[in-house]
Amino acid sequence: MEPGSVGQPHIRVRNLSVDYGENRALDGITVDIPDRRITVIIGPSGCGKTTLLKSFNRLIDLVDGVRISGEVLVDGENIYDPRADVTSIRKKMGLLSQKPFPLPMSIYDNIAYGPRIHGIRARRELDRIVEHHLRKSSLWEEVKDRLHAPASGLSVGQQQRLCLARGLAVEPEIILCDEPTSALDPQASKRIEQRFIELKDSYTIVVVTHILRQARRLADYVIFLYMGELVEHGPAERIFEHPEKEMTREYIQGIIS
């Protein structure tokens, strides 16, 4: 990590390139993601932010015609090694998408779904897990009296916090967030941001956002991408107050977009 950086790396990206057919989405990205901090990926639409994020849990593999070269090391393991256990890799990652997608079942069963898949069947233990993670997502007090009601009856902001709780229930190490507040009103967005700040002591959090105000509020570390290339990365205070690259300064000031 560069001098003045924040924390030891949890994810190491080495010369990562991603092509969709003839289109190069990422070109030779090398960067470290610090452990137990919030790293925010910024850049204009189409610059490769989401592609980089989804390379961390290999969801990018699901895209037809994608070609990937380079390495992504999580806990020292190259997740693109042919011998890598993709299921184990994804268990380390919680993913929060732009729009919440609660499962078509009760609030309780949304949280219990992952633990059940991993072999937990005892009702008392499932009850503990459900309450614990709803509390961590600041949703327990709002839903404790209707746990067996359909999750679809929650507001959009509540659904996003439910999806966060569902992701945490499988005990990941890393939380990946793809514009997680883009579908939310300001109050719901504030609650999600506050959860991230509280959770970063226990998890490595990576957030893609197009909102620079949000990046300033959340980021400990910043990655700036432009046209699939890594322009600059570093501690948030330096990137926002004293960027080394002219392109970074112009993006932060709104001169380029």
Number of domains in the chain: 2
> Residue 98 domain-assigned?
no
Are both 222 and 243 inside the same structural domain?
yes
- Asked if 77 and 126 sit in the same domain, the reply is no
**Same domain for 133 and 152:** yes
Q: What span, in angstroms and rounded, lies between the C-alpha atoms of 60 and 185?
A: 29
Same domain, yes or no: 110 and 9: no
List, run by run, the mean pLDDT of 10-residue segments along the chain (257 residues).
63 97 96 97 96 94 92 95 91 91 96 93 97 96 98 96 95 95 92 94 96 97 98 98 97 91
The encoded tokens of residue 27 equal: 């070109």
In terms of domains, do 227 and 163 share one?
no
| Dihedral sign from CA coordinates of 50, 51, 55, 59 | positive
Q: What angle do CA 214, 233, 205 make, to 5 degrees?
A: 50
Between CA 86 and CA 84 the distance in angstroms is 6
Among 152, 171, 190, identify where a domain stops.
171
Task: Tell me, yes or no, whether 208 and 164 share the same domain.
Answer: no
Query: Shortest CA distance to 223 belongs to which of 26, 79, 75?
Result: 26
Q: Does residue 59 share a domain with residue 122?
A: no
| Domain edge (last residue) among 131, 150, 171 | 171
Residue 70, phi then psi, degrees to nearest 5: 100, -170
Q: Which residues contact 105 (CB under 8 A, 6 or more apart)?
A: 113, 150, 151
Q: Is residue 83 part of a domain?
A: yes
DSSP assignment letter at 4: T
Q: Which of the 8 DSSP states describes residue 64?
A: T
pLDDT at 236: 98
97 lies in some domain: no
Task: Give pLDDT tens digits for 71-99.
Answer: 999 999 999 999 999 888 888 999 999 99
Cβ atoms of 178 and 94 within 8 Å: the answer is: no
d(CA 155, CA 146): 14
Q: Please report where in the chains the tokens 């290999």 appear, as a residue.
A: 58
d(CA 53, CA 44): 15
Closest CA to 192 of 89, 58, 42, 38: 38
Beta-carbon contacts of 56 under 8 Å, excluding residues fewer than 6 positions away, are 11, 33, 72, 74, 79, 93, 174, 176, 206
Range of the domain at 181: 1-92+173-257
Q: Tell whether 73 is covered by a domain.
A: yes
Say whether both 128 and 26 belong to one domain.
no
Residue ending a domain, among 153, 171, 189, is: 171
CA distances from 175 to 65, 161, 204, 248 (A): 27, 13, 6, 26
pLDDT at 6 (0 to 100): 67
Does residue 3 share a domain with residue 77?
Answer: yes
On whether both 250 and 138 belong to a single domain, the answer is: no
Cα–Cα distance between 244 and 231 in angstroms, integer? 10
Q: Do 77 and 122 belong to one domain? A: no
CATH number at residue 250: 3.40.50.300
* Pair (47, 140) in one structural domain: no
Predicted local confidence at residue 138, as pLDDT: 92
The pLDDT assigned to 87 comes to: 86
